[in-house]
Amino acid sequence: TGTLTKGQLDVTHYEIIMNNLELTKETFFVIVGAAESLSEYPLGRSIVNYEKKLLDLETYDVDVSILKPLLG
């Protein structure tokens, strides 16, 4: 994640393990990025930042009607 070397969270490696689904990395990161786009947590923000760089995106058009933070 780059936490120790850079002092911030960054995606440095990923592996998509879904044998039963055929997703491109772009589709995978659109789904995950949209899910994390309103995240207030550093790990979620780092995923969104990586996805935006990967797909050359500026913003998301996401509508969240129910947001329920959970411990975990």
What is the per-residue pLDDT for 32? Answer: 86
In a domain, 65, yes or no: no
In a domain, 17, yes or no: yes
pLDDT surpasses 60 at 51: yes
Global pTM value: 0.65
Mean pLDDT for all residues in the chain: 79
In a domain, 71, yes or no: no
The per-residue DSSP string of 43-63 comes to HHHHHHHHHHHHHT-S-----
In a domain, 7, yes or no: yes
Structural domain boundaries enclosing 25: 3-55
Cα–Cα distances (Å) from 25 to 18, 32, 34, 53, 54, in that order, read 11, 10, 14, 13, 9
Work out the pLDDT band at 12, boundaries 50, 70, 90. Answer: confident
| Distance in angstroms (rounded) separating the CA atoms of residues 65 and 58 | 22
3-state secondary structure at position 34: helix
Domain count along the chain: 1
